[in-house]
Each structure stands twice: as structure tokens, then as C-alpha cells.
Amino acid sequence: MSGGRYHIPIAPAPLPAKAATAPFRIAEGDNYVKYGHPVFEGTEQRGDTHWTAEIITQTWYQAETGRIPISGAGYGGRFAGEGFDDLWLDMSEIVRPTRDGIHGREVISTEVDLGAGLTSLEFDSQGRLLTRMPTWITLPIPVVLDTLPLDLPIPGGLEAVIRAARLLDTLALVDPAALSSADQPSTHWLAPLLPPGSFDVPRLEWEARLVEVEADRQQAAEARARYPAALIVPRLVLSPESPQSVLDWARSGTRVVHLVADEMARDTAGRTLADAVHQVHTRLVDEAMRDRVTLIVSGGIAAAEHMAKAIACGADLVAIDHVMLAAWGCGLWADRGPCRTEREGVDPAWGSQRLLNLINAWRDQLLEALGAMGMREVRRLRGDIGRTIRHRTEEAEFRRYVGSAVPMARYPYLPTTQGGEGDLRWPPTLLQSSQEQARTGRPPSGSVEYRVGLSGGGFDRVAFAFELEADPAQVPSSDPAGFELSLSLNRRGDARPAIYLPLPWYGAGMSYGSVSLAVMLARARAAQHLGLFTSTGEGGYPEELVPYADWVITQVATGLFGVREETLLRARLIEIKYAQGAKPGLGGHLLGNKNTASVAQLREAVQGTSLFSPFPFHSVYSVEDHKKHVDWLKQVNPRALISVKVSTPTDVDMVAVGSYYAGAHVLHLDGAYGGTGAAPEIAKKNIAMPIEYAIPKVHRFLTAEGVRDELTVMASGGLRTAWDVAKAIALGADGAILGTAELVAIGCTRVGQCEKGLGCPFGITTTDPELARKIDPAEAWQKIVNLYTAWAWQLAGILQRLGLRSVHQLRGRSDLLVYLES
């Protein structure tokens, strides 16, 4: 099994018309509910905290298509949450690069071993193996199918599960009493789950490889006698006693244990599955027993990221239950409606295909996550909490850094609405106020909330202390001419040119392909007008931009599309894009239908095929390679400044200092809520840190190293307003880089369909020439200029309220902020 490639056959398996599911989707074009978007038109109903509408509809999508949910625009959901949402997966960057595993570009193994139970081997003096190897089971994926969770049998359900287990080459746990002789050919993939007192497996000749027992030691002993060749697995309810009981079972020779949480992924004491499992894992490590036992974990595993996170917390593999019902179209309890699947059953061929599709999509997402973490074996992820980021821990640190805390209720919110356009990061009122500024060129009128969104964390949880006492309807505003707002991009004092921007921000990279040429031109013209920058993104350098070359950053991204000496020599600032906040650890991805003739021509690729940029740079696998890479670009263009764009792993401080020593002028941190033309949902939501945590981490580390003043630190990834910019600077950045805000100015409402060629209803993120006409560059550039003008007045206004004259004085002044406690 260690050789060869594992392949799951996927096929379209749409829901039959009769099983029309609850109307989760807000619009007909949506494939599923995107994070932070409203569901159930006209209601706030969102399922429960665990089986959310997003999770259920994404499950439907995956079961139907076999594909990873991918969408455009940044993550719009809650900042963080409980349970699995309290954890992010870390990614590797430069110093410990990721693996380019997606679609088998590099093989990442998802194989797991059950019951090997070995800590070492013994050899004789001739080098021959003496250890008698136990029988163990190898599965190609870290997932087994648990028994269906509902009491009432779903007609066809069991058959679908059995068939899926066989085709996936994994195991299905089944009640032997429910089997018939028709299941005989599949018994290799079936593991009987013996209820208390039961041993009989009627009608089947069964060489069971694994047998689960629900009851006590005595039953386990009897099962062992009955099935001498099988692994006997106790099925234990996850509880605070689990560490001791697993240890006891392991010490008495049990090699596999199944721990079962409830359907909300909690143990009997209400602790999260992640915490409870990690405690079991740690105890086993302390007792030197971890390698002797395999842990199967189940209960509330609802999404691919849950699988990855459960494993990182100490599980070897997971068992899935309720999500199988969701795969068949059941709305579980999120829709509060009747479940047709339960009543009417499933067609076994269709039902198993839906499971195959789901697991394929899960496996691909696991590959994305493992790739981002830089791992090539899921077995090595087990218990590696070093590859996770704890929201709780980071938040505590953040809170300490910000200083004083006040109850959130004290913050004077202006009216904020939810529902309709936008999401939690960009609620409708924020879209509205931004577009108002883009229209008028003046600060917002202050009738609706213009400063913060509803994400519940980060910038939405900190405020300038003066805000508590002020009337938010009186929008701070002052003539920028009276303030120092400039940004220096070369603080190294090397021989390269000094570049000063009049405002402490500039435009983010958006490739030709992710947006239309009209949008690129509008951004470039706005940059020229304001004396700022915009960036080519990674899709090459359209000739139409050449007249604006002084204000255009040439981006060098991992795909190297369109990067030539000519385009490098054109630039005053070269941006090396190592990673992107919205998809840390993953390369760029342009779906086939956006790769039109003109896009393909600029990238010199094949029209109509999906274009993947690799990850990482295959010429940069280490920080020393990173220096070499920077040196190369400096060699090619001796007058250019170098910006290094990275996302936000926990060791972002190391990446930052590494970039300083590599000779970068600008460090560009792109946080996890950054925008994207197309990114897997799992990456947007679950990998790396929000920018709010990264900024202070980097600022403080560079300060302690004594090099802070030699590097310009720019922040991006979910910055929406002049207020966010000011907060980012107060947290320690020198300035901000903006993408989505510019698109919002020209009409984006975060529908999140940027990945589709014809998807963007406003013609912004499209490559369709017809649709692109919706954007008039002449009008659009003015809107961007207007928005930024309004921001400049507000930023000056904020400085005035703070009693500062210069934006430089604001940097790192976290003492001016307060933390809003719930």
C-alpha cells in the first residue's frame, strides 16, 4: 500500500428532485452557504452552533460533486468560535516550506495503521528481523464509517455504507444483526460492532479484521477468544475518565480504542472533543504508551477540518456518523424541518457515490491542510499540536497587548444590519458606508455603522479609547494636509532609492484573470493619481498597464506567470508573494473557465485549463534560499525595492526577521481573512492566523531584535476601513495594503463568486469580456480615489482625536486601544 496512488472514483450524484432539501441557499447561483452569509431568506435561523448551515450545505455540495468547496472573496464568518473553531491549523512558510500535495503534484500519504502497537523492532546480528509482527490494518484514509446514528433504519442506508466502505477500502462499523447474506462479498470491509451480550454474526462466514465491543473487559475477552485474528476494539464514551481508562485498556494489551463524543463533539463533561482527546493523547505519551495504541475518535466530526484537527489533537483516525446522513441530503436539525432521507431512504448506488464524493473532497482538503503544514504523512500529524494555533491562547496574548478592557456594551455602535448583501466581516452597513465614501469622496455621514463589522474578533473587538466617549455620528475628520500621513518604503538606508507614499497604504495584488483588465486599469489610474501603488498580482503584466509602470508593483508569485526580466526591470517595487492570507500554504488557483484566451495568452498557458501555482516557491525551501531569492531580484533590478508578502503562521515573527536579514525593504503580512479570487473554504477559515494577531507579534519581535525601524511592515487581510488601518498601525504596522476595500468601492458586495468566469454579477472579478463592460474604468478609478480621500480625512481626524500629528507616532501605540469584552 505504501506505493502507488490512492484514487477515489467520483461522479456527479445530484439530489433527486423528490428529495428537495430545505432552502438554505440565499440565491440560486450559490452552491452552498458561504461563511457569514445569511441563510433561509428572511430569517436569522442558522441551525445550531455545531451543525451549522455552512457545514451542512457544504456537505451537500461535496457529496454531490466530490469536489472541494472553493469560492472567491475572503472569509466572512465569525472571527473564531468554540470547539473546533477555537483551533486553526498552522502553515509552514519559507523557514519550513509546505508541500505541494494537491492533485498529487507531490504525493502526500493519508494512510493510517490500526493496531500495529509497536515501539521498536528487534534484529539479530545478521540484520534479520526478529520481532514477530502483529496483524495490523492499514487504511488508505484516516476515516472509518461508523454505524448510522439514528434508531430508525434508513432503507438502503446500510447497503450504501457497506458499498462505500468497500470502494474506499476502509472499514464500516456495522451491527451484525442487520446484515444479510447479500453482504457476504463485502465482509472484508466490515467490522462488527457487538452490543452488550452479543457475539453472534448470523448467516455470514466472517473473518473479521476488527471487532468493536460496546461493553466491558469480559466481553472484550470473549470477543478475543471468538475472533482470534481480529483487533478487538473497546468503544468508550469520551469523558474525563478516558485518559485513565484508555491507559488501562492499552496496558492490558488492547491495541485500538474507539472514543466516542456526542454529536456536538463534546465529552460527557461538556469539554470539546479536541481538548478531551488531546488529554488522552498526552497521558499516553507521559506513560510511554502512545505508540502502543491506535485511537479512533468520533462524534460530531462534521467537516474535513474536524478530521484534521482531531488528528492534530491526538486521534489517529476518525469515524464519521451524522455527516453521512447530511451527505444524503438530510438537513439534520439545522433546518428544523422533516428529513426526507430518514423517511424515504436512499438508493444504495447513489448513496454510496455521495459518500465517496464526500470522502474524496475531505481527503483533498486533508491534503491541502497537510500540504500547508508541510507534511507528507497524516500519521506524522497525530498529536502534533505544534502545528495548530489556539485561538484562546492567541486571544489572551492579544488582550494583554491591547491593555485595558471594557465591556462591549460600552461601545457606541451605530445601527448595523445583517442579512441581504455582505457577511459578518463586511456587513451591509459597512458596504453601504464604504460605497457612500466612494461616491462622495467625503467621510461617511455617520448614520449607519462605518467603523466595524460583526465578526466578533480582531478589529471588531478593539476600539480607540476615545471612541467610548464620543458620539459616533460625529465622524472624526480633519484636513490631511495638517498631518504627516506619509509612508517610507525604504528604511534600510541601503543604496537603493527612497520611496515615500503620501498615504500609509496601497493596493494589493490582483491578477489579470482574477479581475478584469478594466478593474486593473482603474486601480492603476487611482494609484497614479494618489501617488500610491497597485500590484499586478500573479497573472502577468498586461501591456495596458505599462503607462502606469511607476505606480505598478511587479509581483513575483510562485507560478512565475508572466514574470520576465523586462517586467522586473519596469518596477520600482518588486513584491515576492510567498503566500496569501486567504489560502496560506496553497498556491494560486485559477479555475478553468476563467482562463480565457487573453488570460492564457498573458500567462503563456493553455486556455481553459485550471492553472495552479505551486506552493511554495520551488526555488525557496528555506530562509537562506529566501535570501538568495531576494538577492536574485536585486541583482536583476538594482534600483528596485523588495517587498516580501507572507501569510501568518504562528512563527510569522521568525519569517519576519528572516525577511529582514534576507534584505527585504517591505514586509507584507497578509492575514487569514484576506481576499482571494478563489480559495478552498477550508483554507480561508482554518489555516493560519488573523492579521490582528500577527501584527503585534511581528512588531514586538522586530523591536526586540533591534531592527524594527529598518523594515516597513505592511498589513493586509481583512482591513476594511480607515479605522482598521489606524488600528493596524496602533498594533504595530507601518501601513496597510488593500484589496477588497477597493473592489467594494467600485461595487463589490461580497457575494463570493469571484472564482467563476461569469459569476461576478458586477463584472469586477470576471474575465468575461461582456460582463467586464459593467465596469467603466473612468468611473471606477474615481471611486477608489474618493474612498481613499475620505479615508485620509478620517485618519487625520483620528490622529487629531488622539492628539497626534503624525501617523508614525501612532505605530505600536496599543495603549491607545481598548479591548471590548463580551
| Helix or strand run (H / E) with residue 234 | strand 231-237
Nearest distance, CB of residue 173 and other proteins, angstroms: 22
Select the residue interacting with other proteins from 226, 442, 627, 808 (CB under 8 A): 627
d(CA 774, CA 606): 27
Nearest distance, CB of residue 755 and other proteins, angstroms: 7
Q: What DSSP character marks residue 763?
A: S
Nearest distance, CB of residue 195 and other proteins, angstroms: 31
Nearest distance, CB of residue 744 and other proteins, angstroms: 23
Interface positions, 541-560, toward other proteins (CB under 8 A): 558-560
Select the residue interacting with other proteins from 23, 103, 338, 473 (CB under 8 A): 103
CB closer to other proteins, 219 vs 516: 516
CB closer to other proteins, 244 vs 445: 244
Interface positions, 508-547, toward other proteins (CB under 8 A): none
Q: How many CA atoms lie within 13 A of 759 on its CB side?
A: 27
Nearest distance, CB of residue 626 and other proteins, angstroms: 7
Q: Which stretch binds other proteins (CB under 8 A): 162-170, 418-426, 576-584, 628-636?
A: 628-636
CB closer to other proteins, 556 vs 725: 556
Look at residue 144 and give its three-state secondary structure.
strand
Q: Which three cell numbers stand for residue 263?
A: 454529536
Contact yes or no for 199/223 (Cβ under 8 A):
yes
d(CA 434, CA 425): 13
Q: Which three cell numbers stand for residue 506?
A: 496601497
Rule CB under 8 A: say whether 258 interacts with other proteins.
no
Interface positions, 671-710, toward other proteins (CB under 8 A): 704-707
Q: Which three cell numbers stand for residue 780?
A: 471606477
Distances in whole angstroms, Cα of residue 730 to Cα of each of 404, 452, 502, 649, 817: 14, 16, 19, 21, 8
Q: Which stretch binds other proteins (CB under 8 A): 164-172, 181-189, 484-492, 613-621?
A: 613-621
Three-point CA angle 371, 372, 373, nearest 5° = 90
φ, ψ dihedrals at 735, nearest 5°? -175, -175
φ, ψ dihedrals at 177, nearest 5°? -65, -20
Select the residue interacting with other proteins from 119, 181, 252, 806 (CB under 8 A): 119
CB closer to other proteins, 309 vs 525: 309
CB closer to other proteins, 293 vs 738: 293
Contact yes or no for 209/191 (Cβ under 8 A):
yes
Give a three-class secondary structure readout of 532-577.
Answer: CCEECCCCCCCHHHHHHHHHEEEEEECCCCCCCHHHHHCCCEEEEE
Nearest CA-CA partner of 319 in 254, 382, 257 = 257
Rule CB under 8 A: say whether 122 interacts with other proteins.
yes
Q: What's at 14, amino acid-wise?
A: P
Interface positions, 755-794, toward other proteins (CB under 8 A): 755-759
Rule CB under 8 A: say whether 10 interacts with other proteins.
yes
Interface positions, 360-399, toward other proteins (CB under 8 A): 373-377, 379-387
Nearest distance, CB of residue 366 and other proteins, angstroms: 15
Interface positions, 259-288, toward other proteins (CB under 8 A): 285-286, 288
409 to 448: interface string for other proteins, x by CB under 8 A: ----------------------------------------
Select the residue interacting with other proteins from 2, 43, 218, 822 (CB under 8 A): 2
Peptide bond into 444 cis (omega under 30): no
d(CA 138, CA 3): 13
Q: Which stretch binds other proteins (CB under 8 A): 42-50, 167-175, 623-631, 722-730?
A: 623-631
Look at residue 169 and give its three-state secondary structure.
coil
636 to 675: interface string for other proteins, x by CB under 8 A: xxx-----------xx--xx-xx-xx--------------
Q: Which stretch binds other proteins (CB under 8 A): 122-130, 394-402, 717-725, 791-799?
A: 122-130
Interface positions, 473-502, toward other proteins (CB under 8 A): 495
Nearest distance, CB of residue 555 and other proteins, angstroms: 13
d(CA 147, CA 150): 9
- CA torsion 148-149-155-158 (nearest 10°) is 10
CB closer to other proteins, 5 vs 18: 5
Contact yes or no for 755/594 (Cβ under 8 A):
yes
Q: How many residues of this chain interact with other proteins, rule: CB under 8 A?
A: 115
d(CA 461, CA 455): 9
Q: What DSSP character marks residue 102?
A: G
Contact yes or no for 400/456 (Cβ under 8 A):
no
CB closer to other proteins, 102 vs 346: 102
Contact yes or no for 609/773 (Cβ under 8 A):
no
Greatest CA separation for the chain: 88
Q: Which stretch binds other proteins (CB under 8 A): 91-99, 302-310, 336-344, 734-742?
A: 91-99
Select the residue interacting with other proteins from 605, 641, 644, 818 (CB under 8 A): 605
Look at residue 464 and give its three-state secondary structure.
strand
Select the residue interacting with other proteins from 17, 18, 43, 120 (CB under 8 A): 120
Nearest distance, CB of residue 131 and other proteins, angstroms: 7
Q: Which stretch binds other proteins (CB under 8 A): 90-98, 146-154, 506-514, 809-817?
A: 90-98
Nearest distance, CB of residue 573 and other proteins, angstroms: 17
Q: What's at 720, amino acid-wise?
A: R
Q: Which stretch binds other proteins (CB under 8 A): 26-34, 347-355, 467-475, 689-697?
A: 26-34
Nearest distance, CB of residue 629 and other proteins, angstroms: 9
Contact yes or no for 603/630 (Cβ under 8 A):
no
Contact yes or no for 472/414 (Cβ under 8 A):
yes
Look at residue 806 and give its three-state secondary structure.
strand
CB closer to other proteins, 9 vs 16: 9
Select the residue interacting with other proteins from 568, 596, 710, 769 (CB under 8 A): 568
CB closer to other proteins, 33 vs 798: 33
Q: Which three cell numbers stand for residue 374?
A: 508541510
Nearest distance, CB of residue 642 and other proteins, angstroms: 14
Nearest distance, CB of residue 753 and other proteins, angstroms: 9
Distances in whole angstroms, Cα of residue 128 to Cα of each of 121, 125, 223, 273, 539: 10, 7, 34, 42, 56
Nearest distance, CB of residue 455 and other proteins, angstroms: 27
Interface positions, 575-594, toward other proteins (CB under 8 A): 591-593
Q: What DSSP character marks residue 477?
A: -
Select the residue interacting with other proteins from 23, 29, 185, 502 (CB under 8 A): 29
Look at residue 211 and give its three-state secondary structure.
strand
d(CA 149, CA 141): 21
Select the residue interacting with other proteins from 624, 769, 801, 808 (CB under 8 A): 624
Rule CB under 8 A: say whether 563 interacts with other proteins.
yes
Interface positions, 124-163, toward other proteins (CB under 8 A): 127, 129, 131, 133, 136
Which residues have a Cβ under 8 Å from the Cβ of 149 and sit 6 or more positions away?
Answer: 263, 321, 322, 325
d(CA 405, CA 821): 6
